[in-house]
């Protein structure tokens, strides 16, 4: 095998090349056995030359919007930032709705508790104390000069009590759902103790 060297820099030439890979000089015809790198041929629009034809551009992949199966919906390719914004918006709406629902439920409970408490007060009775705790429970003490039997009859008629227990001839405990009513008569005065839990 013959080793060819560049005439300019003396570097070893690779077979079937037409320039030196070291210095870039063209290889003379004496050193070239079979040139594989011929100069680029220019195409012209002259009568004897070959004309270049312009190709119509074609997509490299099918357009999914045009070729989706019938009955399927197109899924928009939204950016991740937009998706996060939409999800964040939905979460915010749910949080606001939850807060508003909680506020409405609390107001309804308070209004029901207030209306129930006012319905429990014996008409014409004097309020001795009325305490409402932070947990929503309430204790009220009333006094009236009405006899025990009349006060008990009023509560039985108006409140539809679920349970009544007579402790003594002068004391009665009555219950309706979350309300306990204790009646006790002493020296012609009937004491009424109302306890309401949330």
Band of residue 34 on the pLDDT scale cut at 50, 70, 90: very low
On whether residue 66 sits in a domain, the answer given is no
Q: Given a cut of 60, is residue 96 above it in pLDDT?
A: yes
CA distance readout (Å), 112 to 115, 170, 180: 5, 31, 17
Average pLDDT, the chain: 78
| DSSP one-letter string for 119-145 | HHSPTTPEEEEEEE-TTS-EEEEEEES
Q: What confidence tens digit (pLDDT) does each residue in 52-94 have?
A: 666 677 666 655 555 555 655 555 555 778 888 888 888 999 9
On whether residue 142 sits in a domain, the answer given is yes
Q: Given a cut of 80, is residue 115 above it in pLDDT?
A: no
On whether residue 56 sits in a domain, the answer given is no
Closest by CA to 144, choosing from 180, 194, 117, 183, is 183
On whether residue 126 sits in a domain, the answer given is yes
On whether residue 84 sits in a domain, the answer given is no
On whether residue 87 sits in a domain, the answer given is no
Q: What confidence tens digit (pLDDT) does each residue in 119-156 have?
A: 788 888 998 988 888 888 889 999 999 999 999 989 88
Query: If you average pLDDT over residues 35-55, what whole number do you get?
Result: 56
Number of domains in the chain: 2
On whether residue 90 sits in a domain, the answer given is no
Return the pLDDT at 83.
85
Domain range enclosing 8: 1-37
CA distance 3 to 83: 66
């Amino acid at each position: 095998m013959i080793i060819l060297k560049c005439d300019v820099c003396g570097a070893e030439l690779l077979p079937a090349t037409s320039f030196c890979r070291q210095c870039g000089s063209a290889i003379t015809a004496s050193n070239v056995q079979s040139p594989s790198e011929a100069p680029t041929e220019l195409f012209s629009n002259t009568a004897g030359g070959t004309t270049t034809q312009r190709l119509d551009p074609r997509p490299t992949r099918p357009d999914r919007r045009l070729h989706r199966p019938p009955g399927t919906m197109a899924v928009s390719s939204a950016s991740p930032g937009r998706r996060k914004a939409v999800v964040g918006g939905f979460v915010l709406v749910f949080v606001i709705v939850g807060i508003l629902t909680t506020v409405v439920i609390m107001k309804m409970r308070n209004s029901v508790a207030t209306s129930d408490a006012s319905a429990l007060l014996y008409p014409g009775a004097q309020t001795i104390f009325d305490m409402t705790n932070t947990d929503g429970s309430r204790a009220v003490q009333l006094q009236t000069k009405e006899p025990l039997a009349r006060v008990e009859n009023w509560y039985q008629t108006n409140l539809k009590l679920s349970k009544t227990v007579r402790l003594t001839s002068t004391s009665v405990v009555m219950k309706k759902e979350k309300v306990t009513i204790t009646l006790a008569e002493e020296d012609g005065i009937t004491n009424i103790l109302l306890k309401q839990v949330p």
